[in-house]
């Protein structure tokens, strides 16, 4: 008999056994495809088997392929969970790989408690969980629902979430028009959505809007047919600027109009010392608010710390990711603030440490404060979590803020902190920015990361940001100042670039938020030489920018190969140079070679590239490097 047909008969047999085994775990072997807008990007394989002891083993295999702004990540996990017929957990074994590296967890019952030892980012942690009667591991939820009487319409339960090992409340309701479909709300720990089952009580489909997740039952072969899902645009709250604000650092004021659907205004926190809500409107589920953002005011407070008032208890506490009482966090925080007598001075020192300590990395997962301290990598959320852990450990109340940051021609979903120094002030440690700027748009704050996430996921459904008005400091009336046809000068970005030949001409190809010019060589339309100037946060090092672009290129081009990748200085500015080749696309001849140089001179970043067919690239490479080396930074003097 063909192996596939034999396998199918075994699976059918297992499912048939489940028809008469409601009441406790049901043996099965099923595959589910993980999809985003119809594209499969992962799977879950679940095997439930009865053990000789009468207990049940859940074996889980998971895979996700994620392309986060060009950074491809394969997230895999296998796990085994042993539970009693009443779903009481007995043991746990999990191992997998995330962007931050390998991780694992083992757990067993000790004196009635579940003790879990986990290892991630090179850091071990031990948690002892008292499991009250009736708590159901999330992996057993399908079977638990199958046990409910047919007349059940609503119910609540406590769920043990795998991965976080947190016990949280869940509320369920049967959708009466579809008796095998349930709505479920896990709260901030796990989101909310719908679950649909077949007549045997086996999950057919899971559809969550927050976070956006869809599982569909399918064959093993179909489940394994996956490709990388791209996280960009609305999925990461990223929107192009609709006004030409090329230097957000120079904003003196900004007025934005926010629009969204089906989220009450009370879910936001739009008012603080920087932001003022000017108008709001609501019409049939469609909401809008006009918000004015003012420049950072002088920090008026200059008071000692620690703060131990009960008023700040929640902003000094330990949460899922913010762990101020960790021994390494406490020791490092005390070392950093030693000799500082005021909260403001301590906050500045902590921000500078986080900025210098973390190598910006687009990890898909969220790490805890101690894990960030150990691994030294992460995105904006890791900077926020580490700063909050350090600040709270020395008695400085700290909040997590979710919002948008204006950079490189876009609004980008962002996370930062607010610290209490006698008054609440914004702290973006990833950019070492204390006091905030008009480039930051706050949407909500909370004592924890979890507290911001329900709004974050809801906004991916329908959210927009448009700029109504703005004012720049020292704004020039003529942003682009031509000195000659072969010379480009930009007063806003304080730079001048002269072509190596007077026969070359400059063509402006700028877009809102990013200045782009092309240097054209007569008779060589297939040779592309560009210069780009843009605002660059201090945290973004030239190599990190190069790595991000290489990730995008690698995902977009065929026959892609990096030829050189090295540090490079442009005058007295640190930079990075990369050369790579790729297959030609429509309208291009032969193999295309690119040399790209990125450098910075705070607060700006500059990029120059040469893109041409291999032989033409080699012919003009010397001229291109002469162009780069003629770059001038115009001082304010």
Res 548: pLDDT:
77
Instruction: Select the more confidently predicted residue: 251 or 603.
Output: 251
For residue 406, pLDDT beyond 60: yes
For residue 543, pLDDT beyond 90: no
For residue 7, pLDDT beyond 70: no
For residue 172, pLDDT beyond 70: yes
**Local confidence band at 2 (pLDDT 50, 70, 90 cut-offs):** very low
Distance CA 222, CA 90 (A): 33
For residue 219, give the nearest of 29, 66, 64 by alpha carbon: 29
Res 636: pLDDT:
60
User: Can you say how many angstroms the Cα of residue 251 is from the centroid of all Cα atoms in its chain?
Assistant: 26
Distance CA 69, CA 607 (A): 19
**Local confidence band at 190 (pLDDT 50, 70, 90 cut-offs):** confident
Using DSSP, state whether 172 is helix, strand or coil. Answer: strand
CA torsion, ordered 605, 611, 615, 620, to nearest 10 deg? -50
Using DSSP, state whether 454 is helix, strand or coil. Answer: helix
pTM, full prediction: 0.79
Res 168: pLDDT:
87
Q: 23-37 pLDDT, tens per residue?
A: 789 999 999 999 988
Kindly write down the DSSP assignment for every residue of 346-399, as one continuous string: HHHHHHHHHHHH-EE---SS---HHHHHHH-EE-HHHHHHHHHHHHHHTT--EE
Give mean pLDDT, residues 354-383.
Answer: 91
CA torsion, ordered 26, 32, 35, 37, to nearest 10 deg? -80
HSE toward the beta carbon, residue 384, CA cutoff 13 A: 25
Instruction: Select the more confidently predicted residue: 2 or 430.
Output: 430
φ, ψ dihedrals at 3, nearest 5° = -55, -40
Length of the chain: 637
Res 623: pLDDT:
94
For residue 518, pLDDT beyond 50: yes
**Local confidence band at 637 (pLDDT 50, 70, 90 cut-offs):** low
For residue 11, pLDDT beyond 80: no
Distance CA 18, CA 217 (A): 16
Res 211: pLDDT:
67
Instruction: Select the more confidently predicted residue: 380 or 71.
Output: 380
Give mean pLDDT, residues 459-466.
Answer: 91
Res 530: pLDDT:
95
Judge whether 414 and 404 are in contact, CB under 8 Å: yes
For residue 603, pLDDT beyond 90: no
**Local confidence band at 86 (pLDDT 50, 70, 90 cut-offs):** very high
Instruction: Select the more confidently predicted residue: 232 or 65.
Output: 65
Q: Is 602 exposed, middle or buried (0-12, 13-18, 19+ CB in 10 A)?
A: exposed
For residue 616, give the nearest of 586, 567, 581, 573 by alpha carbon: 581
Q: 250-307 pLDDT, tens per residue?
A: 888 999 999 999 999 999 999 998 999 999 999 999 999 999 999 887 887 778 999 9
Percent of the chain with pLDDT over 90: 60
For residue 509, pLDDT beyond 50: yes
For residue 520, pLDDT beyond 50: yes
Res 99: pLDDT:
83
Judge whether 274 and 293 are in contact, CB under 8 Å: yes
Res 156: pLDDT:
92
127-131, 202-206, 360-364: range with highest mean pLDDT: 202-206
Res 443: pLDDT:
97
**Local confidence band at 478 (pLDDT 50, 70, 90 cut-offs):** very low
Using DSSP, state whether 270 is helix, strand or coil. Answer: coil
For residue 4, pLDDT beyond 60: no
Judge whether 299 and 423 are in contact, CB under 8 Å: yes
Give mean pLDDT, residues 94-110.
Answer: 92
Q: What is the DSSP letter of 177?
A: T
Res 1: pLDDT:
32
Instruction: Select the more confidently predicted residue: 567 or 164.
Output: 567
**Local confidence band at 538 (pLDDT 50, 70, 90 cut-offs):** low
Kindly write down the DSSP assignment for every residue of 87-143, as one continuous string: --EEEEEEEEEETTEEEEEEEEEETTEEEEEEEETTEEEEEEE---TT-EEGGGHHH
**435 Rama class: left (phi>0) / alpha (psi -120 to 50) / beta:** left
User: Can you say how many angstroms the Cα of residue 290 is from the centroid of all Cα atoms in its chain?
Assistant: 26
Using DSSP, state whether 222 is helix, strand or coil. Answer: helix
Res 18: pLDDT:
34
Contacts of 50 (CB under 8 A, 6+ apart): 25, 27, 56, 57
For residue 14, pLDDT beyond 90: no
Alpha-carbon dihedral sign for residues 446, 452, 458, 463: positive
- Give all domains of the chain, ordered by start, each with its CATH number: 3-230 (no CATH), 248-472 (3.10.620.30), 487-633 (3.40.1000.10)
For residue 610, pLDDT beyond 90: yes
Give mean pLDDT, residues 537-546.
Answer: 76
Contacts of 398 (CB under 8 A, 6+ apart): 315, 316, 322, 387, 388, 391, 392, 417, 418, 419, 420
Query: Tokens 């967890």 correspond to what residue?
Result: 105
1-5, 15-19, 97-101, 593-597: range with highest mean pLDDT: 593-597
143-152, 191-200, 524-533, 598-607: range with highest mean pLDDT: 524-533
Distance CA 132, CA 448 (A): 25
Helix (H) or strand (E) holding 605: strand 604-613
Res 463: pLDDT:
94
Rounded to the nearest integer, the mean pLDDT of the chain is: 88
223-237, 250-264, 488-502: range with highest mean pLDDT: 250-264
Query: Tokens 């008071």 correspond to what residue?
Result: 303
Res 13: pLDDT:
30
Report the number of secondary-structure helices (H) and strands (E) in the chain. Answer: 10, 38
Judge whether 344 and 301 are in contact, CB under 8 Å: yes
Res 479: pLDDT:
44
Give mean pLDDT, residues 73-90.
Answer: 94
């Amino acid at each position: 008999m063909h192996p596939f047909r034999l396998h199918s008969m075994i699976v059918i047999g297992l499912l048939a056994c489940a028809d008469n085994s409601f009441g406790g775990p049901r043996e099965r072997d099923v595959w589910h495809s993980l999809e985003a807008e119809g594209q499969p990007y992962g799977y879950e394989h679940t095997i439930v088997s009865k053990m000789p002891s009468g207990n049940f083993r859940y074996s889980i295999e998971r895979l996700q392929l994620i392309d986060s702004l060009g950074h491809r990540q394969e997230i895999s996990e296998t796990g085994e969970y042993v539970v009693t017929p009443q779903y009481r957990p007995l043991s746990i074994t999990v191992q997998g790989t995330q962007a931050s590296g390998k991780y694992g967890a083992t757990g067993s019952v000790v004196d009635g408690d579940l003790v879990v030892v986990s290892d991630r980012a090179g850091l071990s942690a031990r948690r002892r969980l008292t499991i009250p009667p009736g708590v159901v591991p999330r992996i057993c939820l399908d079977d638990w629902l199958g046990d409910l009487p047919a007349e059940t319409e609503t119910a609540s339960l406590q769920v043990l979430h795998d991965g976080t090992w947190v016990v949280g409340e869940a509320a369920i309701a049967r959708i009466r028009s579809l008796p095998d479909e349930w709505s479920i709300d896990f709260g901030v720990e796990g989101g909310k959505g719908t679950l649909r089952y077949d007549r045997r009580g086996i999950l057919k489909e899971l559809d969550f809007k927050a976070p956006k997740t869809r599982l569909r039952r399918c064959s093993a072969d179909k489940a394994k047919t996956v490709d990388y899902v791209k996280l960009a645009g609305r999925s990461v709250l990223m929107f192009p600027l609709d006004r030409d604000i090329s230097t957000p650092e120079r904003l003196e004021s900004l007025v934005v109009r926010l629009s969204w659907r089906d989220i009450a205004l009370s879910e936001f926190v739009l008012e603080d010392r920087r932001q003022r809500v000017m108008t709001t409107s609501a019409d049939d589920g469609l909401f809008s608010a006009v918000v004015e953002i003012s420049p950072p005011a002088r920090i008026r407070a200059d008071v000692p710390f620690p703060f131990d008032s009960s008023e700040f208890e929640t902003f000094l506490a330990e949460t899922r990711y913010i762990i101020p009482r960790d021994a390494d966090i406490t020791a490092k925080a005390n070392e950093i603030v030693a000799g500082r007598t005021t909260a403001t001075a301590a906050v500045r020192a902590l921000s500078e440490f986080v900025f210098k300590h973390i190598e910006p990395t687009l990890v898909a997962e969220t790490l805890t404060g101690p894990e960030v301290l150990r691994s030294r990598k992460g995105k904006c959320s890791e900077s926020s979590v580490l700063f909050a852990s350090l600040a709270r450990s020395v008695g400085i109340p700290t909040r997590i803020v979710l919002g948008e940051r204006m950079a490189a021609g876009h609004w980008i979903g962002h996370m930062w902190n607010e610290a209490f120094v006698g008054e609440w002030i914004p702290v973006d440690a990833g950019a070492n920015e204390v006091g905030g700027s008009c480039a930051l748009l706050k949407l909500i704050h909370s004592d924890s990361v979890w507290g911001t996430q329900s709004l974050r996921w809801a906004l991916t459904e329908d959210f927009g940001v448009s700029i109504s008005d703005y004012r720049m400091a020292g704004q020039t009336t003529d942003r682009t100042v031509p000195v000659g046809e072969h010379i480009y000068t930009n007063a806003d970005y304080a730079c001048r670039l002269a072509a190596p030949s007077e026969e070359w001409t400059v063509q402006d190809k700028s877009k809102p938020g990013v200045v782009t010019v092309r240097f054209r060589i007569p008779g060589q339309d297939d040779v592309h030489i560009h210069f780009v100037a843009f605002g660059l946060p201090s945290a973004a090092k030239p190599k990190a920018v190069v790595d991000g672009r290489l990730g995008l290129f690698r995902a977009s081009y065929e026959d892609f190969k990096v030829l050189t990748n090295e540090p490079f200085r442009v005058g007295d500015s640190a930079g990075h140079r990369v050369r790579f080749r790729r297959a030609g696309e429509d309208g291009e001849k032969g193999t295309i070679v690119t040399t790209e140089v990125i450098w910075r001179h705070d607060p700006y970043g500059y990029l120059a590239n040469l893109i041409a067919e291999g032989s033409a690239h080699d012919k003009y490479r010397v001229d291109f490097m002469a162009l780069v080396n003629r770059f001038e930074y115009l001082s304010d003097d």
